[in-house]
């Protein structure tokens, strides 16, 4: 199983996916055709064209999952890329088009999975740690479970002196842990996770990630850190 899970797709002042070009090149070696899943945004054609342009540099031909029978597309591709946007809209469409099980199955049999932001959220057991607004109601919060723990993309540290009274990201994750006993990896922007079968490592920006577990102090994770132990997680959701 080969996964690349990006916190975010675009770094400030850089082109779409440019900041992760090296990591993308690694997981896309040997990939000629890729299915892009654009359902987190409203404009499927425009979003697919943007992904196709960014991935052309890697010699990859891109089809949108909305353009043909997606199962046929999956079967002729060596990779699937689930783009970011709104996680609730994305998951609703994955259920409506019955794509969760086929994605899980193809990835188990060697298809490369790339996700960014919402596409990373739906690689978790549930979308319970998304930052997105619940603009539509998917039939369930369960997602594809390509990793057995939760990820919070676009992780943001509390800002000293901020007078806004909404919860900080850390407070939101602590509320998640009050209800669920599952580790949450808060991935700062510019970072990614790379899974090869039973091996899992953090890559990308030096800012790294922050790992939250019930009953423990949060732990700073630096790029290069071996996180394979997280793949042993047995989560308990309420």
Tracing tokens 């990820």 back to the chain, one arrives at 151
Residue 110 vs 139, nearer CB to a copy of itself: 139
- 130 contacts a copy of itself (rule: CB under 8 A): yes
69 tagged catalytic? no
CA 71 to each of CA 75, 78, 224, 230: distance values in angstroms, whole numbers, following the listed order: 6, 13, 35, 30
Residues 157-196 that bind a copy of itself (CB under 8 A): 163-167, 172-173, 175-176, 178-180, 189
Q: How far is the CB of 48 from a copy of itself (least distance, A)?
A: 17
Residue 102 vs 138, nearer CB to a copy of itself: 138
Helix axes 87-96, 100-108, angle to 10 degrees: 90
Residue 89 vs 194, nearer CB to a copy of itself: 89
- 198 contacts a copy of itself (rule: CB under 8 A): no
117 tagged catalytic? yes
Closest CA to 115 of 203, 52, 22, 37: 37
CA-to-CA distance for 232 and 229, rounded, in angstroms? 6
Strands 199-204 and 191-196: antiparallel
Q: How far is the CB of 167 from a copy of itself (least distance, A)?
A: 8
Residue 85 vs 204, nearer CB to a copy of itself: 85
43 tagged catalytic? no
- 89 contacts a copy of itself (rule: CB under 8 A): yes
- 8 contacts a copy of itself (rule: CB under 8 A): yes
What residues act catalytically? 117, 132, 154
Which residues lie near a copy of itself (CB under 8 A)?
8-12, 42, 85-86, 89, 126-137, 140-141, 154, 156, 163-167, 172-173, 175-176, 178-180, 189, 238
């Amino acid at each position: 199983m080969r996964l690349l899970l990006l916190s975010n797709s675009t770094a400030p002042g850089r082109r779409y996916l440019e900041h992760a070009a090296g990591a993308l090149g690694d997981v896309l070696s040997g990939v000629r055709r890729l299915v892009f899943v654009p359902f987190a945004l409203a404009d499927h054609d425009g979003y697919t064209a943007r992904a196709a342009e960014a991935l052309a540099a890697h010699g990859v031909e891109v089809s949108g999952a909305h353009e043909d029978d997606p199962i046929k597309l999956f079967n002729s591709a060596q990779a699937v890329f689930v783009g970011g946007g709104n996680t609730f809209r994305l998951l609703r469409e994955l259920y409506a088009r019955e794509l969760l099980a086929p994605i899980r199955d193809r990835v188990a049999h060697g298809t490369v999975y790339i996700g960014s932001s919402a596409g990373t959220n739906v690689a978790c057991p549930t979308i319970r740690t998304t930052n997105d607004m619940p603009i539509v109601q998917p039939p369930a919060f369960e997602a594809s479970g390509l990793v057995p723990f939760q990820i919070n993309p676009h992780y943001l540290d509390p800002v000293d002196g901020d007078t806004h009274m909404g919860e900080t990201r850390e407070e939101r994750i602590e509320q998640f842990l009050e209800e669920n006993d599952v580790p949450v990896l808060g991935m700062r922007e510019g970072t990614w996770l790379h899974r090869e079968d039973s091996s899992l490592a953090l890559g990308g920006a030096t800012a790294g990630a922050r790992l939250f577990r019930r009953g423990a102090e949060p732990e700073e994770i630096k790029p290069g850190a071996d996180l394979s132990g997280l793949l042993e997680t047995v989560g308990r959701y309420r």
